[in-house]
Amino acid sequence: MSSETPTKSPEAAPVPPPGPAPVKKRVPQGHQRLLTRRDRITLAFMAGVPTVLHVALVWITALASIALAFTTWDGIGFDSIKWVGLDNFKQLFTDNPQFWPAVQHNIIWFVVLILIPTPLGLFLALQLDKNIRFSRVYQTAYFLPVVVSLAVTGFVWQLVYNPDTGLINSIIGANKPGHYIDWIGDPKLNLWAVLIAASWRHTGYMMILYLAGLKGVDPSLREASALDGANEWQTFKNVIFPTLRPTNTVVLVVTIIEALRAFDLVFVFNKGAQGTELLSILITNNIIGESSRIGYGSAIAVVLLVISLAVIIPYLIATFRKERRA
Amino acid sequence: MTDLSPSGLSLPSPSRRSLLRGVGGAALVAGAGIPLLSACGSSGSSSDSKTVSVGSNDSDAVPKKAYADVYAAFQKQSGLTVKVNTKDHNTFQEQINSYLQGTPDDVFKWFAGYRMQFFAAKNLASPIDDVWEKIGANFPDAMKKLSKGADGKYYFVPMTTYPWAIFYRKSVFAAKGYEVPTTWDQLVALCKQMKKDGLVPIAFGDKDAWPAMGTFDQINFRLNGYDFHVDLMAGKAAWTDAKVKAVFDHWAELLPYHQDGFMGRTWQDAAQTLVSKKAGMYLLGTFVAQQFTNKADLDDLDFFAFPEINSAYGQDTVEAPTDGFMVSKSPKNKAGVTKLLEYLGTPAAEELYLKGDPSVVAASNKASTSAYSALQKKAFEMIGQAKSLTQFMDRDSRPDFTSTVMQPGLQKFLQNPKGVDSLLSSIERQKKTIFAS
């Protein structure tokens, strides 16, 4: 689940020009003349170090997590690792009262992000793309929440939602006995409260992505549609939006990843108390800390990994297929 | 401000710890967490015979300074240097596993009770019976019990402690003619009266999830006694037992008198309602006094022991989380360690510490109480007279059980007191698998 994959538009992926390659005429030995010994060492170094790091930090650890998911381990000495087969998963699916709500909340998180902040971000991007006055100021204002750390965002919103002294309850007078609105604690409310904070941030993110996409739309397309007498909505619907397809793919993937890795905001907000359980928080609660349940936590991590793969693999397949066609 | 949360977890604002956790959590989700964690142990304990190293979680200014004074006095007396390795309070706790397995300091700061016994049983701590031969006379029996591992050997030197009790304002009780309740019925009647008088009977905030454990503990050992508390916490008694159900029934009776909106409120905010005299009572540790920054308010603050529920046990148990020192598995300077612990176990060392940090009381009953405030004196008497001392749910039980099962479990009860039966059987099922591992 690394987050860097999606930021690269699939179209931007370097596709070798299919045209004729004149170099090929110069027979194989050309290779050896092109690369000196030093070049080769540099090349090996440049390719080797990232590979080693990648294998060690991504593959080995991921595989170790998967292996640990079938054990119990308190993290003290390797001899205390005990193989338990599928027990962790059985417990997770049947006995853990927080697991299914967590899965559900991750899904709600995704649905809300795609339904509210994403269209809103597109709308803002369209407005800003019209070169209105103070466009830079608006861009900065909307993008600022994305720059600020999510932990800070969570902290700020937690002050807004505080039941006694928070902004909202103070304004509407809901901080008196009998009238309390517990935005942070009430399981019927807190997920939505935190989603407002998440959407506030996500809107800015989507706006920037779409704004970049819109800058890439050929102005002659707009001119042509204007000449054809299309109004603004028709231009958007029939001309602009279809050309934003690559951006939409990126947006979709980014949003899915945001929904799966949602953690910091909620953790700061209320530590994933009832109503806001998330898979990432369950993993943290089980693994980090003293006398940790590393096996059990790994089992939850594996579930999260499987969900991510189920989303990412179809995306990759689609991308590769497109590249091959190109 | 001293960090006195009973759990020792998360005290002030969420910022510091959450950020650290957030970083750790993010790393974990990326699948890179486990080897990183074990790489966090501290290194570089000194090996010369003139130094003793101490791993400390006293990252807050007040206790840090107070302990520095104690070590300076020890150095003067013995000629040994104490090298202190201080880590952030919560980080220290979260890394304790890997810290003790790596190259820990000779002596480390820790909590009494089950949480101490856990590491003793894992052979990550050294027994210190030789130290106790010298310092044994300085401590009451209840403290001795708290310092022993499951194998009967001593592993712990207690330093400071503080009680949990019900706090109230003397002026409010005097003005309204309230009397300190000594039985459950009187407590309920008092709550009713307070509600009628427009007060919030019991201030409450459970955002951090541990305060509810304090309420459960009080009702449990008043109703079922100390031994049942120990059995339940150690995973021996069943959570589906009728005795546990009775605890929740009592709690449910009291719940309507608790402050509204507690799930989103921190203990600090709840304490403010007692400061502003909007609430009548508040069940918490003496660290609640930290919120009383005005001298007049602080002088007006008083507390009483949780009322009797079952006459067989009266008020014989006090919840008094105790902090102190343990020795790591293979200290570099064994002779120095013994000397240091013998010194820390003296009344003189505790008095010196309390001079710098007056928010707690001495674990030794030989330490002078002359410098104590009225609250400290009362706390000291309460602990001294107790037949048994408990530590707090998350110190008396496995931390993985309390943090992943009990904290959400109790919050669930608070939201829906009627669903106790299914909640208890769910807790029992999860408990079995955790304690079996």
Residue B39 forms contact with A (CB below 8 Å) = no
Q: Is the pLDDT of residue A28 over 60?
A: no
pLDDT for the residue numbered B24: 41
Weakest mean pLDDT among A16-30, A32-46, A165-179: A16-30
pLDDT for the residue numbered A33: 64
Residue in chain B lying closest to A98 (CA): B408
Q: Is the pLDDT of residue A178 over 70?
A: yes
Q: Is the pLDDT of residue A9 over 60?
A: no
A206-248 tens-digit pLDDT: 999 999 999 888 888 888 988 888 888 888 888 889 889 889 9
Q: Where are the beta strands (DSSP E) in A74-218?
A: 82-83
ipTM of the complex: 0.77
pTM for this predicted structure: 0.81
pLDDT for the residue numbered B253: 96
Residue B399 forms contact with A (CB below 8 Å) = yes
**A290 vs B402, more confident:** B402
CB contact under 8 A, A264 and B437: no
Residue A89 confidence class, pLDDT cut points 50, 70, 90 = very high
Residue A202 confidence class, pLDDT cut points 50, 70, 90 = very high
Residue A280 confidence class, pLDDT cut points 50, 70, 90 = very high
Q: Is the pLDDT of residue A25 over 50?
A: no
| Option in A98, A183, A290 nearest B94 (CB) | A290
Q: Where are the beta strands (DSSP E) in A63-116?
A: 71-72, 82-83
CB contact under 8 A, B200 and A177: yes
Give the DSSP H/E element, type plus range, for residue B317: strand B317-319
From B111's Cα to the closest Cα of chain A, the distance in A is 13
pLDDT for the residue numbered A101: 93
From A122's Cα to the closest Cα of chain B, the distance in A is 29
From A165's Cα to the closest Cα of chain B, the distance in A is 9
pLDDT for the residue numbered B47: 52
B328-351 tens-digit pLDDT: 999 999 999 999 999 999 999 999
Rg of chain A (C-alpha set): 25
Q: Tell me the helices (H) and strands (E) count for chain B, helix number first.
A: 21, 12
d(CA B211, CA B393): 10
Q: Is the pLDDT of residue A59 over 60?
A: yes
| Option in A96, A97, A155 nearest B15 (CB) | A155
Superfamily of domain A99-276: MetI-like (1.10.3720.10)
Q: How many of the other CB atoms lie within 10 Å of CB of A218?
A: 10
Within the 114-143 window of chain B, which residues sit less than 8 Å (CB to CB) from chain A?
A: 115, 118, 122, 124
CB contact under 8 A, B31 and A164: no
Q: Is the pLDDT of residue A7 over 50?
A: no
Within the 237-266 window of chain B, which residues sit less than 8 Å (CB to CB) from chain A?
A: 259-265
CB contact under 8 A, A289 and B398: no
Cβ proximity of B102 and B346 under 8 Å? no
Q: Is the pLDDT of residue A325 over 60?
A: yes
A104-139 tens-digit pLDDT: 999 999 999 999 999 999 999 999 888 788 888 988
Q: Which residues of chain B have pLDDT under 50?
A: 1-46
Token pair for residue B193?
Answer: 């009266």
From A85's Cα to the closest Cα of chain B, the distance in A is 13
The percent of residues in chain A predicted with pLDDT above 70, rounded, is 89
d(CA B27, CA A239): 42
Cβ proximity of A203 and A142 under 8 Å? yes
Token pair for residue B58?
Answer: 């006293």
Structural domain boundaries in chain A:
99-276
CB contact under 8 A, B260 and A180: yes
- The domain defined by B164-319+398-436 folds into D-Maltodextrin-Binding Protein; domain 2 (3.40.190)
Interface size, chain A vs chain B, as Cβ–Cβ contacts under 8 Å: 190
CB contact under 8 A, A163 and B209: no
CB contact under 8 A, B404 and A76: no
Residues of B in contact with A105 (CB under 8 A): none
Within the 208-247 window of chain A, which residues sit less than 8 Å (CB to CB) from chain B?
A: none
Residues A145, A148, A154: CA angle, nearest 5 degrees = 85
Residues of B in contact with A182 (CB under 8 A): 260-264
Determine the CATH number of domain B15-161+322-390: 3.40.190.10
Weakest mean pLDDT among A81-85, A165-169, B6-10, B363-367: B6-10
Q: How many of the other CB atoms lie within 10 Å of CB of B79?
A: 10
CB contact under 8 A, B25 and A280: yes
From A99's Cα to the closest Cα of chain B, the distance in A is 12
Q: Which residues contact B296 (CB under 8 A, 6 or more apart)?
A: none
Residues of chain B with CATH 3.40.190.10: 15-161+322-390, 164-319+398-436
B115-132 tens-digit pLDDT: 899 889 989 999 999 999
**Site from A73, A164, A298, A303 to mutate, B interface, most B CB atoms within 10 angstroms:** A164
